[in-house]
Structure 1
Amino acid sequence: MGGYYVIAGKKVPNHILSMGFIGAYVAGYAAYSMKPKPAQPATPPIQASSSDEEAFIKEFLAKAEAEDKKQ
């Protein structure tokens, strides 16, 4: 069989150390990938120079969405 390392006074085979390392790596990746993602806004923010322009944009988008629903 392969070699071994002496850890805390015990002989630990190389294959056990490698399986432990791979298991810890996979567990760390799984924990990282399962983190909840921040919620993304449904539409990009409206960057208008005045409140009238912002109102016009919102009204235009509402009309366009209503028109899409009709079709």
Structure 2
Amino acid sequence: MGGYQYYNVFGKQVASQYLAMATLATIFGGAYAATGGSKKAPVPGAAPPINASSSDEADFIKKFLEQADEKKEDKH
């Protein structure tokens, strides 16, 4: 067999290119598994709570957001 380096792994001879492929598959497979998983989709229409110091400020923010939504709907 031509020019390959062989290593003994658990009593079997394994060529170096197979060890390299197994190493790369383990690294990339582990990275893929770690970054995968369920992604939580944002709930449409859900807004963060309004932390206003007074009721007047809260009313102003609500009216402003309603006007911004109306402008957005008018453009489309």
TM-score, normalised on structure 2? Answer: 0.68
Quick one: distance in 1 between partners of 2:71 and 2:16? 67
Can you give the 5+ residue segments of structure 1 that lack an aligned partner in the other structure? none
Are residues 1:49 and 2:53 paired?
yes
Q: CA deviation at 1:24?
A: 1.1
| CA distance in 1 between partners of 2:71 and 2:13 (Å) | 74
Report what 1:64 is aligned to.
Answer: 68
Identity %: 38
Tell me what 2:35 maps to. Answer: 33
C-alpha RMSD of the superposition: 2.4
TM-score by length of 1: 0.71
Secondary structure (helix, strand or coil) at the match of 1:6 reads strand
For residues 45-66 of structure 1, what are the alpha-carbon distances to aligned partners after superposition, in whole Å with 9 as ceiling and x for unaligned?
A: 5332234322320121102211
Structure 2 stretches of 5 or more lacking a match?
A: none
Q: Distance in 2 between matches of 1:46 and 1:70?
A: 25
Match of 1:11, SS state, is strand
CA distance in 1, matches of 2:64, 2:4: 72
